[in-house]
Structure 1
Amino acid sequence: MRRILSILIVMFFLLTGCNSLRFAPGEAQKQNAWLHSRTTAIAAATAEEEAATEKLQALTKLSQLQSKAITSYYGLPKELPQADTAEQILSESNWQLGRMALVESSERPDAWQVADNALELGIGICALLGGVYGTRAVRFLKQARTKSKALQEIIAGNELFKKDNNSSVVAFKQAHHSQSQQTRQIVAEMKSS
């Protein structure tokens, strides 16, 4: 059973790669990509209208083409921002949208989200395989997920307690002094994520 589960986990990471550790593009990112496409289209048209150098015209046309690829990858947003003219594109709301999309694009899932998703995947695979071993594996993975969430809540509660009760921090640390090095390392990793 362990061997099958190990093989499935390895296959999952080989098939999905690191892209599974990124959030899918959000609405702000999709709007920003579409707005970028419109910006490059208007810049290319403006460069041509104003008889800019051939080099600048070629750069803006290439930028427009590249932007279309980005928009195709991200997908169209549910609501399209106003972007028919250069003035509409340069509005303050579009600047804010660009800043928000930049912040969203740098976000990564924390360790808890990755672990929870991995457990969900494991539960799904085991349920699919079925049988006695599948049922046992589902039970084990659900229990592991429950314990993981409980540990996360305990750590968050402990950190809140230490923050609100500065006078008890020394006693709190002394009470946890007998923890194994492995436990301390796990808690430290969970605190940092």
Structure 2
Amino acid sequence: MRKYKRLATSTMAAFTFALVCIALAGCDTLRFAPNETQKQNAWLHNRTAIVTAETARAENASEKLRSLTQLGEVQSRAFASYCGLPKEFPQAETAEDILAESNWQLAGTAVNDAAQRPEAWEVADSALELGIGICALLGGVWGTKAVRFLRETKTKSQALKEIIAGNELFKRQNQTQTAAFKQAHSKQSSQTRQIVTQTKTLGHYLPI
């Protein structure tokens, strides 16, 4: 019994801590795993650097340019290693292959994909759902209590999100009332202000 109690309590604490970390850190710390396009682009970047270095040597470029291209080739290995190898490799045997229009399009798509960020609210909900699932598997009194706690946390999180979204929509549609709106909330405690600010950051809302 004590074992399940400790495990359930630890699970609740871990997921609550995870949600707080997400709120404090914001969405910029969250990243999608590299997709196939990004993997292809990273591999192509390395091939581009290799061919550039080879071309600089073949055309007897200046020592400075040859050194720069060699360094670029070494640096590009880190990108390819981080992203991992793609399932399909772009045609990149020669400089002409690399400069194909399809590779320009690939690079542009990879840039757009890299700028995408997960919706932090969805990440938080997923974390809570995972916690609920784990606690449900534990069963017992403490597992049931943990499930209830996490479900209540998820419900309150959703309610807070909806309230803040409604407030921001009201201010955008009633800009003449913004000063009065701020005045009405001026007596909020510092703890409440901090929670609201963190929640708006988490949900990509405009600040009050």
TM-score (norm 2): 0.64
Q: Matches of 2:183 and 2:13 in 1, distance apart?
A: 42
Q: Which residue of 2 aligns with 1:162?
A: 171
Q: Matches of 1:148 and 1:187 in 2, distance apart?
A: 11
Do residues 123 (structure 1) and 132 (structure 2) align? Answer: yes
Q: Matches of 2:161 and 2:15 in 1, distance apart?
A: 23
Residue in structure 2 matching 1:4, options 2, 5, 10:
10
> By how many angstroms is 1:33 displaced?
0.7
Q: Matches of 2:137 and 2:74 in 1, distance apart?
A: 43
- Aligned ranges 1:34-183 → 2 under 5 Å: 34-52=43-61, 60=69, 63-77=72-86, 80-90=89-99, 94=103, 97-98=106-107, 101-102=110-111, 104-105=113-114, 109=118, 111-177=120-186, 179-183=188-192
Q: Matches of 2:137 and 2:107 in 1, distance apart?
A: 42
Evaluate the alpha carbon distance shift between residue 146 and residue 76 of structure 1 in structure 2; reply closer, same or farther with a 3 A threshold: farther
Task: Using the TM superposition, name which of 124-133 and 56-65 deviates more.
Answer: 56-65
Q: Matches of 2:17 and 2:201 in 1, distance apart?
A: 28
Deviations 1:37-84 (A, max 9, x none): 221221233234324467765664564455345323312345644544
Q: Which runs of 5+ in 1 are unaligned?
A: 13-17
TM-score (norm 1): 0.68
Aligned residue pairs: how many? 187
Q: Matches of 1:9 and 1:164 in 2, distance apart?
A: 36
> By how many angstroms is 1:160 displaced?
0.9
SS at match of 1:186: helix
Aligned identity (percent) is 60
Give the alignment's Cα RMSD to 1 decimal: 3.9
Q: Which runs of 5+ in 2 are unaligned?
A: 19-24, 203-208
Preserved CA contact (<8 Å) 1:38 1:83: yes
Preserved CA contact (<8 Å) 2:53 2:73: yes
Q: Matches of 2:158 and 2:13 in 1, distance apart?
A: 25
SS at match of 1:23: coil
The structure with higher relative contact order (CA 8 Å, sep 6+) is: 2
